[in-house]
């Protein structure tokens, strides 16, 4: 709440690298499975942030990116919340199935 909102907005509108950002640095070191769900009408998280995260997860075991086209940042619409839950459940099930196949 104490951060300058204009400065935060300007920071988010620039592509970042793991060398410039601690969160992205952690993402670059992550070797697990990744799911990014993006709100298509997000007024808080600009596309540059999503692109920076996508680029940072270069060593991830798997990477999935889904967009809920009409959703806002808060996803207050119950239909968007259900779609988000469905995406998450389907992704987890997919990861479990893939994990089981790798152990056979």
pLDDT tens for each residue of the chain, 104 residues long: 899 999 999 999 999 999 999 999 999 999 999 999 999 999 999 999 999 999 999 999 999 999 999 999 999 999 999 999 999 999 999 999 998 887 76
Give the pTM: 0.87
| Structure confidence at residue 100 (pLDDT) | 85
Give, to the nearest 10 degrees, the angle between helix 47-56 and helix 22-29. Answer: 40
| Structure confidence at residue 104 (pLDDT) | 67
CATH no., domain 5-102: 3.40.50.1820
Q: What angle do CA 95, 98, 99 make, to 5 degrees?
A: 85
Domain ranges of the chain: 5-102
Contact (Cβ atoms closer than 8 angstroms) between residue 43 and residue 13: no
35/42 Cα distance (integer angstroms) = 17
Three-class SS of residue 88? helix
């Amino acid at each position: 709440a104490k951060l300058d909102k204009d400065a935060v907005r300007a920071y988010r509108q620039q592509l970042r690298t793991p060398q410039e950002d601690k969160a992205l640095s952690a993402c670059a070191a992550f070797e697990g499975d990744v799911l990014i769900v993006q709100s298509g009408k997000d007024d808080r998280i600009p596309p540059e942030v999503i692109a920076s995260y996508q680029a940072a997860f270069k060593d991830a075991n798997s990477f999935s990116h889904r967009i809920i086209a009409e959703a806002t940042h808060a996803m207050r619409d119950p239909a968007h919340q259900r779609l988000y839950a469905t995406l998450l459940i389907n992704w987890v099930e997919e990861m479990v199935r893939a994990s089981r196949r790798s152990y056979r």
